[in-house]
Structure 1
Amino acid sequence: MLAQVTKLSAPPASAAPAKFDTVTVRRGDIQQTVDAPGKLQLHKWVDTYAQIAGEVKDVLVAVGDTIQADQALVDITPAQQPAKAASNRAQMARLQADLADQRGQLDFAQLQFKRQTQLKAQNATREDAFESARMNASSASARVDAITAQIHELEATSKIDEEARQKTIVRSPIAGTVVSLTARTGQMVAAAQPAAPLLRIADLSEMTVAARVAENDVTRLRPGMAASFTTPGYPGKRWSGKLRQVIPIPVDGTGEQGKQAFYIVLFEVKNPDHELMSGMSAQVQFVVAQARDALLLPANGLGAPDEDGLYNVNVLDAGQRVSARKVKIGLHNSQQAQILSGLAAGDKVLVGPAPNVLPTPAAAASSS
């Protein structure tokens, strides 16, 4: 690429050497990113509920406690009175007695029917006596079956009640930390009442970052992209992860009546020391593209592109001569731009327009 060289007229001997504001082309890494605000939220958590109706006898943990899976959390006194169990036992005893009585009647009815069957074979009994014996045996058998079914039903009910009475201890389904607690001693609870969890357990070893990305940027994001963030609570520290999901519906209240739409983008970060907490604000960066060991020029060394997308820059050489060049760039961000052609490492580029110094006639002639 040809460069037009403009020779500057030498300043008077008494004048101080001219000073130029320049930036230097260097090699380095560059990233093109999408920036967005975000919030930290829990990644893995569960709410625990009472599995039996009753009164909270004791709360065995507090907010902030670290607990293990299957650890006891809340002790509940069941609302079911002991009298119900006694009533079930009494009812079972009565049914067992009724069953024994009906089996005796069944044995007698079957014996009578057998005798009538033998007599009928010898034409020694009336038809109505035979039919009566047959009906009595059938009825006795049906009553035995009915009582047996009642006994089975009561056994099933008693088993359910007994299992419920054994669920007086609420246990943690996962290992984690108690992050909220609503259970209080003396509180009445209902079994699996959806609106009133007793407490929430969260695994804080991993957190989710929910970034709020504008619609003109979200189309550049893809699952698996590198993501990172900083948070005001830890100045100078950065956490990293990989983009997991873009929620495909806009945030409530955005994208309506001409408003710009925003979308929630999620990724996870490890949190082994539990430094990060739910609700912390985050300044998120998603890496859309990057280049290693590229030629880089500070962004303030570029002006506006021409119609071909090239940039006009002025390069100052060691002899204080200015040459105009056309530069093609690749990746760029607010700090720097990747140089694809037109410059080399070490070139010094003037910041702003070239100095308004007219060339001498000789210099003008030589440049022509």
Structure 2
Amino acid sequence: MKPPLAVPARPAQPLRRRSLGAVLSLAIILSGGVVLAQVLQSPPPPLAPALVIAPVVAAPIPVKLDTVTVQRGNIQETVAASGKLQLYKYADAYAQTTGQVKEVLVAVGDTVKANSLLLEISPILQPTKAENNRAQMARMQAELADQRAQFDFAELQFKRQSQLKAQNATREDAFESSRMNVSSARARVDAIDAQIRQLEATLKIEEDSRKQTQVAAPISGTVVTLNVRDGQMVSAAQPASPLMRIADLSKLTVAARVAENDVTRLRAGMQANFTTPGYPGRHWSGKLRQVIPVAAETSGEQGRQAFYIVLFEVNNVNRELMSGMSTQVQFVVAQAQNALLLPARALGAPDASGFHTVNLLDAQRRPSARKFKIGLRNAREVQVLSSLAEGDQVLVGPMPALALHTAAKPAAAPVAR
């Protein structure tokens, strides 16, 4: 009988794992002990000297302040207005007789001299009438010469009869007849002479009428309007319709509309400056001539503000400016030279005494309130009359709270410990 087969026994797995864990734990404990012994055996570090510890002071937060500087310069106080350029000197040419225009000798824009011929008109009346009057004048002058010869003869006869009568050598009727002949001849001479003078007056009128057919330039200048053409019928009975207008463009007038609350500040002789959109950057000037004392049309009605027309002239030798151009005018009410100036945006409202208050910054950017008086003022600048000096820095608007705290409080001193 065979013995039973032996079954190999399995190794005890849990026992090995427990043994391995115990070995690792023992190794860690031993390592820790070695490290702890080294630490305990190490000499202690030397004591450091006492340190002065200062509190940390935060750097000032930079604040950008809006400031302006008091400077010297020139200032003008002005009244602003809008206006237009107009003709200063002009004259209209009219028809002095009724007739048909033969030929117009000029055009718009032409330069003409005074009394130069502009156009000629053919009159409706026939020119034969003037010829008849001149022929009649010649005939009457011949009659006058004959009558004067008869008067001279009659006068000679009368002198002879007067001598004979003194000598009682002539009859009384012959003497009276010669005296009557002298008187009659003198009367005929006077009558013909009167007729000649009357005819001369008629001829002068006709000559004037002939001249009226020629329209001449009333002044020297430029033709700016032309209301007639060749062949057009014109009449002297229509004086409201000029044939053309001649203007002297070497000088123009600026007509500015000024509001009623500003016009009372204007006076004749004031300087007036203006610009026009046609010439950007260019400036022209003149002297105020007249303020029209009646409000402009369509202004001041139904409670609206009234405007007044103010006139002044400007030289235009180069003919750059043209009538009808719009203008922006500044009337200089007052001005000061080399004055202390401060930008107007730095100002607030004045107090009851008329003084203004601003924040003035010193070299350390510390603010301090300062009252001062102003003089002239315009939209950009004001004149400083007191309390401020050239170069002063003035804060625009209120002082920011953070900048005020930084400027007013110095940094704390370090503290030693």
TM-score normalised per structure 2? 0.73
Residue number in structure 1 paired with 2:284: 239
Distance (whole Å) between structure 2 residues aligned to residue 114 and residue 258 of structure 1: 96
Contact 2:92 2:218 in 1 (8 A): no
Deviation readout 1:200-249 (Å, 9 max, x if unpaired): 11122221111112232222222222211111222222211222222333
Identity of aligned residues (%): 67
Unaligned runs of 5+ residues in structure 1 are 1-11
After TM superposition, the structure 1 stretch with the greater mean CA deviation from structure 2, 277-286 or 97-106, is: 97-106
2:105 paired with 1:60: yes
Distance (whole Å) between structure 1 residues aligned to residue 249 and residue 203 of structure 2: 41
Residue number in structure 2 paired with 1:4: none
Residue number in structure 1 paired with 2:359: 314
Over 3 Å counting, the alpha-carbon distance change for 1:339 and 1:141 in structure 2 is same
Q: State which of 385, 409, 414 in structure 2 corresponds to 1:340.
A: 385
Contact 2:101 2:122 in 1 (8 A): yes
Q: What code does the residue aligned with 1:313 have?
A: V
After TM superposition, the structure 1 stretch with the greater mean CA deviation from structure 2, 179-188 or 52-61, is: 52-61
SS of corresponding position for 1:75: strand
Over 3 Å counting, the alpha-carbon distance change for 1:239 and 1:148 in structure 2 is same
Q: State which of 166, 176, 181 in structure 1 corresponds to 2:221.
A: 176
2:196 paired with 1:154: no
Distance (whole Å) between structure 2 residues aligned to residue 192 and residue 344 of structure 1: 74
Deviation readout 1:44-97 (Å, 9 max, x if unpaired): 222223455432111111111233444432133344422112211332244345
Matches within 5 A, 1:66-81: 66-81=111-126
Residue number in structure 2 paired with 1:23: 68
Greater strand share, 1 or 2? 1
Shift of 1:13: 2.0
After TM superposition, the structure 1 stretch with the greater mean CA deviation from structure 2, 105-114 or 330-339, is: 105-114
Residue number in structure 2 paired with 1:187: 232
Residue number in structure 2 paired with 1:43: 88
Over 3 Å counting, the alpha-carbon distance change for 1:271 and 1:119 in structure 2 is closer
After TM superposition, the structure 1 stretch with the greater mean CA deviation from structure 2, 178-187 or 243-252, is: 243-252
2:330 paired with 1:248: no
Q: What code does the residue aligned with 2:231 have?
A: G
Contact 1:47 1:199 in 2 (8 A): yes
Unaligned runs of 5+ residues in structure 2 are 1-56, 411-417
Contact 1:313 1:350 in 2 (8 A): yes
Contact 2:361 2:395 in 1 (8 A): yes
Distance (whole Å) between structure 1 residues aligned to residue 366 and residue 149 of structure 2: 125
After TM superposition, the structure 1 stretch with the greater mean CA deviation from structure 2, 290-299 or 153-162, is: 153-162
Shift of 1:293: 2.0
Over 3 Å counting, the alpha-carbon distance change for 1:96 and 1:274 in structure 2 is closer
Residue number in structure 1 paired with 2:335: 290
Q: What code does the residue aligned with 1:184 have?
A: R
Q: What code does the residue aligned with 2:361 have?
A: L
C-alpha RMSD over aligned residues: 3.3
Residue number in structure 1 paired with 2:325: 280
Q: State which of 232, 244, 259 in structure 2 corresponds to 1:199.
A: 244
2:79 paired with 1:34: yes
Residue number in structure 2 paired with 1:145: 190
Residue number in structure 2 paired with 1:8: none
Greater helix share, 1 or 2? 2
Greater relative contact order (CA < 8 Å, ≥ 6 in sequence): 1
Distance (whole Å) between structure 2 residues aligned to residue 231 and residue 349 of structure 1: 36
SS of corresponding position for 1:155: helix
2:261 paired with 1:216: yes
Shift of 1:354: 2.7
TM-score normalised per structure 1? 0.81
Q: What code does the residue aligned with 2:348 have?
A: G
Shift of 1:115: 8.2
Distance (whole Å) between structure 2 residues aligned to residue 306 and residue 115 of structure 1: 117
Over 3 Å counting, the alpha-carbon distance change for 1:18 and 1:114 in structure 2 is closer
Over 3 Å counting, the alpha-carbon distance change for 1:339 and 1:192 in structure 2 is farther
Q: State which of 131, 134, 153 in structure 2 corresponds to 1:89.
A: 134
Contact 1:49 1:192 in 2 (8 A): no
SS of corresponding position for 1:227: strand
Deviation readout 1:266-286 (Å, 9 max, x if unpaired): 212222332211111111001
Shift of 1:306: 0.7
Q: What code does the residue aligned with 2:66 have?
A: D
Distance (whole Å) between structure 1 residues aligned to residue 297 and residue 305 of structure 2: 12
Contact 2:86 2:324 in 1 (8 A): yes
SS of corresponding position for 1:294: strand
Q: What code does the residue aligned with 1:203 have?
A: D
Contact 1:227 1:284 in 2 (8 A): yes
* Rg (Cα) greater in structure: 2
